[in-house]
Structure 1
Amino acid sequence: MTKLDAWLDQHHAAFTAIRRDIHAHPELGLEEVRTAKLVADKLREWGVEVTENVGKTGVVGVIRGNRPGRAVGLRADMDCLALEETTNLPYSSKNPGRMHACGHDGHTTMLLAAARYLAENRDFAGTVNLIFQPAEEGRGGANAMLADKLFERFPCDAIYGLHNTPGMAPGTFGTTVGPFLAAADSWKVTFRGVGGHGGSQPHRSTDITYAQAHFVLGLQGIVGRNVAPLDTAVISVGYIHGGDVNASNVIPSELVLGGTARTYSQEVRDTVERRIAELAAATAQAWGCQAEAYYHRGTSPLVNEAEQVRVGVAAATAAVGAEKVNGQLRPGTGGEDFAEMMLVRPGAFMRIGNGVNPDGSFVGLHTPLYDFNDAIIPDGVRYWVGVVDQELGQGLRAVAAE
C-alpha cells in the first residue's frame, strides 16, 4: 500500500460525506454561492491559498511545491442542472427543480480531496492551480473565468479536466488525442406566413407547416450531402411550436422550431450554420412564406493535445493499471465548456468510469435517477495526484506507507 492509498482509506468516508452534502444542495450556474463557500472554506482549512469570485462564483486554490517549476491547472465544475430529482436517496436534492444530474458534485469532491493531499505533501517542483469552475451547463462559466483574467492571474503551462462517464466500468479511464468532444451549438428558425381556415379555405393561406415539414426533412441532407463522409456532424430538432391545441382547424401564421448542432471542426461548423439558413430560406420561398434563421455558437470543440494526453494516460495508468486505461477512446458529440480554456492553454480531458450494470445497463447523465458513484472518488484523487506527479513531482504517490 502506498502512502496515498493509506491516506485515501483514512479519508474516503469524509469525502463521501462532502460529496453527498454538495449533492443535497445543488445550485445552478453562476448561483453556486453555498458550494463555492464550502470549497473555499475547506481549502483554507487545509492551508491552501484561496481566491474567490473568479468569474462571479468561481474559486481558485493555489498550492506551491517545495521547489520552483512549471504551473499546472486542474479543473472541476460545480453547477447543477434544472431538473427534478427522483432518486429518493437520503441525500437527494433539497432544492426543488435543481439536481446534480451530471456528477459535478463528485468532480468538485475529487479535486477537493486531491487538494488536501497535495497541500499535505508538497514535495514537487512548481505550482498547482485548483480551478473550481461555475456554470459549465450552458451558462458560460469557463468564459466568465477567462474574462476575469484566469490565466493572467493564475498562470498555467498546461490544464487538465476530468468527467465521470456512466457506462464505463468503475476504475477505468479513457481519452484520446485530437477532437474528443464536439462544438455544442443551437439553432432556431421562425417561419411566417398567412394563416387561414384549414377546413374551408386552406388555399388562401401560405401554409408554413408545409415549409417546416420540408425543412426538417432537408436538415439531414446537410449531414448526408454537405458534410464529407469522414467528418462528423449532428443536427437534431428539439422543439416545434405552432398553432393552438384548441384551434385545430386554423392554419397558423407563425411557427418556430429549433434544436442542436454538433461538429468537430470549424469548417464543418461554418457549413452547418450556412446551410441551415439557406435551407430555411429556400423552403420558405418554395411555399410562399418567409423564414428567419438564428444560429448560436455554444461551446467550442474540445481538442486534446498529444503531450497532455500522454501525461493523463500515464497518471491514469499509475492510478489503476494500464489494462484499465484506454488512450484511444472513441470521441463523443457531447459538449464541454472546458474547451474554451483549452483554446488558450494546452490541455487534456479525461473520462473516468462511473459504473455499468452486469447486463450493460446504466443510468445516464442528465436524467432524474442519476447519482455519482462515491466508490470512484479514490481513483479520481489518484488520477489528479498522478497528473501533478507526472508534471511536477518526484513520486508523490509511490512512496510506501509507513
Structure 2
Amino acid sequence: MTSGMFTALSDLSPLQEDLTQLRYTLHGHPELAFSETQTSALVAARLTEYGYEVTTGLAGTGVVGSMKCGTGARSIGVRADLDALPICEANTFAHASKVAGRMHACGHDGHTAMLLGAARHLAATRRFDGTVHLIFQPAEERGFDSGAKRMVDEGLFDRFPCDAVFGMHNHPGEPAGKLMFRSGEFMAAGDRVFIKIVGTGGHAARPHLANDPIVAAAAIVMGLQTIVSRNVDPSKPAVITIGKINGGTAPNVIPGEVELAISVRSFHAEVRVLLKERILALVNAQAESFGVKAEIDYVAGYPVVRNSEAETLFAIEVAREVVGDANVVADMDRLMGSEDFAYMLEARPGCFLRIGNGTAENGRVLHSATYDFNDENLVVGAAFWSRLVERYLSRA
C-alpha cells in the first residue's frame, strides 16, 4: 500500500455527527464495573452490523470484534474501556446521565465511541492485510481484579492472538487532539489500603472512659505523610493519599471505630514493597500507642504501565502522520495515575497513549461531577486507530 491509501482525518470527518450521538447515548446510560450489559449489547450490535465476528461474555461483559482481511499472518489488538463511575453527575446538558449516582466521569464513553468509529471505517475500507481484534473491556475503574486482568486470565490472547496491543485514554489539561506517548514506564502501580481503627466509644464529656479512635486516626494520617518524605528515595516517585475518613455521628459522641481508605502509587518494585511495609508498621504502631486496634486490608492493585519501545515508536510515527508533528508529544512525563491496561502490556508488547481533552479553560478534571469527554477527539481517535491498524497490518 502507498501512504495515500492509509486513513486521514478527512476520511473520518463525515462520521462526526454519528459518533457524537453514539457517545451521547453511552454517556446518558452509564453502567458500573462488570455490569455493562446494555453497553456491551450496543457495542456487539454495532460490530455485528459492520461485519465483524463478535465474541461476547469475556470477563462477563467484555466484547471482542475480529476481522481478517487478505492473507497476512500479522495480528493487532486495540482496546477501549466500557465502565462508568459511582458519581452523581452535576452537568445539565441534554446528554447527561439518566441514571442516578452513575456517570461517565472518565471518558470511557468517548473511548468506546472512538474505537467503534474506527471499527466502522476499517470494515468499510478493508485496507489492511491480517487480523484486527477490537477489545471492549469492562471494569477498568475497579482498581483490583479488574476487567483487563480477568480477560487476560481467561485467555484473551490465546483466543485472539495479537502481535501487539494498543490502548488510549483522554487527558484533560492538554489541547484536544494532541497525542502523547512515553516509552517504558508510563503510569504508576496503584494499591489500595482499607483501615478500620477500633476503639471504645463513649460520651464526649468523659473521654477518659473511652479509647478514642478519631484521635488515633488523626495521628495515623499525619504519620503516613512522613513515609514518602523520609523513607523513599527522593529520585523514585511515590504517593500516599488518604482519600477517605469516616467516623462518628454527633459532636457529643466518641465513636467506637473510624475507617480510612488510602491510595498508594509507585513505579519501582522495591519502593512498592517498602511502602507496604512502612504503612503496615506505622499504622499498627500508632494504633497500639493509643490503645486501639488497627484492622488493615492491603489490596494490591494495577501494575506499572510499561510501553514497549518498538511499538511506541511505531505509534508515534503513525500519530505524526495523522495529526502532524506539532500535535504529538513523544516523551510525556510519567503519570502517577494507574491503568489496568498494564495487564495486557504484561502479556503482549504494545503502547498506551493519551489524547488531550482540552486545556484548563475548557477541559474538566477526570472523576469529577462536571467532567465531559471532548467530542473533538472522536474523529481524531477513530482516524488514529484506523491508520494504526492499516499501517501495522501492511508492514512486512
Specify the TM-score bucket, using the shorter chain as the normaliser: over 0.9
Number of the residue aligned with 1:229: 234
The gaps in structure 1 that reach 5 residues or longer are 396-402
Deviation at 1:86, TM superposition (A): 2.3
Paired residue secondary structure (2:150): helix
Amino acid at match of 1:327: A
Number of the residue aligned with 2:137: 133
Amino acid at match of 2:281: E
Contact 1:66 1:122 in 2 (8 A): no
The separation in 1 between residues aligned to 2:19 and 2:118, in whole angstroms, is 10
The separation in 2 between residues aligned to 1:328 and 1:54, in whole angstroms, is 34
Amino acid at match of 1:148: E
Contact 2:32 2:102 in 1 (8 A): yes
Contact 1:233 1:262 in 2 (8 A): yes
Deviation at 1:24, TM superposition (A): 1.6
Deviation at 1:32, TM superposition (A): 1.4
Number of the residue aligned with 2:93: 89
User: What do the CA deviations read for 1:290-345 (whole angstroms, capped 9, x no partner)?
Assistant: 22222111222211111121122112111101121111111111121111211211
- Give the aligned CA root-mean-square deviation in angstroms: 2.0
Map 1:289-308 to 2 at 5 A.
Answer: 289-308=292-311
Contact 1:67 1:123 in 2 (8 A): no
Paired residue secondary structure (1:171): coil
Number of the residue aligned with 1:47: 51
Number of the residue aligned with 2:371: 370
Contact 2:15 2:379 in 1 (8 A): no
The gaps in structure 2 that reach 5 residues or longer are none
The separation in 1 between residues aligned to 2:27 and 2:255, in whole angstroms, is 44
The separation in 2 between residues aligned to 1:365 and 1:197, in whole angstroms, is 41
Deviation at 1:189, TM superposition (A): 2.2
TM-aligned CA distance change 1:197 to 1:44, over 3 Å: closer
Number of the residue aligned with 1:281: 284
Number of the residue aligned with 1:220: 225
The separation in 1 between residues aligned to 2:90 and 2:249, in whole angstroms, is 32
The separation in 1 between residues aligned to 2:122 and 2:156, in whole angstroms, is 21
The separation in 2 between residues aligned to 1:192 and 1:94, in whole angstroms, is 39
Contact 1:73 1:129 in 2 (8 A): yes
Number of the residue aligned with 2:381: 380
The separation in 2 between residues aligned to 1:206 and 1:92, in whole angstroms, is 46
Amino acid at match of 1:162: M
Q: Which of 261, 264, 269 is 1:266 aligned to? A: 269
Paired residue secondary structure (1:87): coil
Number of the residue aligned with 2:180: 174
Number of the residue aligned with 1:244: 249
Name whichever of 87-96 and 71-80 sits farther off.
87-96
Contact 2:357 2:363 in 1 (8 A): no
TM-aligned CA distance change 1:303 to 1:90, over 3 Å: same
TM-score normalized with structure 1 length: 0.91
Contact 2:9 2:380 in 1 (8 A): no
Number of the residue aligned with 2:161: 155
Does 2:396 match 1:392?
no
User: What do the CA deviations read for 1:178-206 (whole angstroms, capped 9, x no partner)?
Assistant: 22112222112222334444434x34444
Deviation at 1:394, TM superposition (A): 6.3
Give the number of aligned pairs: 390
The separation in 2 between residues aligned to 1:387 and 1:186, in whole angstroms, is 35
Does 2:340 match 1:323?
no
Contact 1:280 1:292 in 2 (8 A): no
TM-score normalized with structure 2 length: 0.92
Amino acid at match of 2:133: N
Contact 1:24 1:94 in 2 (8 A): yes
